[in-house]
Structures are given as structure tokens and as C-alpha cells.
């Protein structure tokens, strides 16, 4: 039984995909694709965890102002553009 538990812990759980991830999520994913960057690259540039970036691209989210500015800088855009202004 311990081997099963160890195996489950070794695998990172994946986020279930919602029906509509939201506008910010779509803009982040689209901008990342336009720049031909991987999620790992953007997360490293923004100083965010990969899991958090994955979450931001899949779910409607409200990142903090600091996280939004860092993400916008990593994507070579502005926070306002990511928010749809």
C-alpha cells in the first residue's frame, strides 16, 4: 500500500479544465503563444510558480497587482492589455 501512496504523491495533480476560463486567462495564453514562449519560460520570467501560471491560464482568476505587473512584463505587454482595457 505504501508504494501506491508514494506513487500518487510523486505525480503532480492536474487542474481540471473549466468550460470557460475567462478573458484574462485567454489573453495570457494567447499572448504567450504569440511570443512562442512555454509556460515554464513565462513563469520564470514573471517569478511565478508554474502551477500558478497554469491556473491563471485555465481559470477565471484575480491575480494580485504585483503578480499581474510581473506577468505583463514577462509577456511584454501591460496589465491593462491583459485585463482587456
Q: What is the mean pLDDT of residues 7-20?
A: 54
Cβ–Cβ under 8 Å, residues 45 and 74: yes
pTM of the predicted model as reported, rounded to 2 decimal places = 0.72
Q: How many CB atoms lie within 10 A of CB 42?
A: 22
How far apart, in Å, are the Cα atoms of 81 and each of 6, 59, 84? 43, 18, 5
| Per-residue model confidence as pLDDT tens digits over 61-82 | 889 999 999 999 999 999 989 9
Residue 41 · residue 80 · CB < 8 Å: no
| CA distance to 9, 20, 21, 37, 43, per residue, from 74 (Å) | 31, 24, 21, 10, 8
Amino acid at each position: 500500500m505504501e508504494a501506491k501512496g508514494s506513487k500518487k504523491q510523486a505525480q503532480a495533480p492536474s487542474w481540471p479544465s473549466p468550460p470557460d476560463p475567462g478573458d484574462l486567462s485567454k489573453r495570457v495564453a494567447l499572448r504567450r503563444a504569440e511570443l512562442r514562449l512555454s509556460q515554464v519560460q513565462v513563469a520564470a520570467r514573471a517569478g511565478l510558480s508554474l502551477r500558478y501560471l497554469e491556473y491563471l491560464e485555465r481559470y477565471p482568476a484575480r491575480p494580485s497587482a504585483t503578480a499581474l505587473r510581473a506577468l505583463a512584463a514577462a509577456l511584454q505587454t501591460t496589465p491593462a492589455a491583459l485585463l482587456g482595457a
